[in-house]
Amino acid sequence: MAKEWGTISNNLKEFALSQKMFFIASAVADEDVNLSPKGLDSLRIADDKTVLYADYHGSGNVTARHITAGGKATITFISFGEKPLILRFYCKGRVVARGAEEFERLARDHFSGVKTEYFRQIFYFDVYRVQTSCGFGVPRFEFLGERTEEKCKRDLMGL
């Protein structure tokens, strides 16, 4: 049975930030829903209603188009470990472009220690609903590690 809240509690924040992977789905008007898997230490929870996501190059940038056009996004975290849980943040937001003064401030204040030169943009999400559900039907998986940069380059080039 799903449960809902208006804010992100500390225990849900800890759960979200402990996941190695999350998903962002976005949509606007009659366009297709876009769903993207994410990782790479790119998510921050600034407070109980604000989530920041640092976006890297490598996709068609559909989420940015949706958010800029007034669309909504859902950020989903799934436990692949022993205890099942699915957590969703329902959001509206805005795109903070690289080169903007706010981009530099957000990168400095929330992503210190991360190679921000690879960021394409930062999404600033206002969370209006938080939902959890059981997640019992999700299988367990083992985290083997991050991909190396060289490996990713070879994969992108089809080698």
Q: At 9, which CATH number? A: 2.30.110.10
HEC string of 65-129? HHHHCCCEEEEEEECCCCCCCEEEEEEEEEEEECCCHHHHHHHHHHCCCCCHHHEEEEEEEEEEE
Residue 129: which pLDDT band, with cuts at 50, 70 and 90? very high
Res 159: pLDDT: 43
Quote the pLDDT of residue 99: 93
Domain count, the chain: 1
- Give the range of the structural domain holding residue 72, as residue numbers without chain letter: 3-156
Helix (H, G, I), strand (E, B) or coil at 45: strand
Compute the distance between CA of residue 145 and CA of residue 154 in angstroms, rounded to an integer: 17
Residue pLDDT, tens place only, 72-106 = 999 999 999 889 999 999 999 999 999 999 999 99
Q: What is the pTM of this model?
A: 0.89
**94-130: burial string, b at 16+ Cβ within 10 Å, e else:** ebbeeeeeebeebbeebbeeeebeebebbbbbebeeb
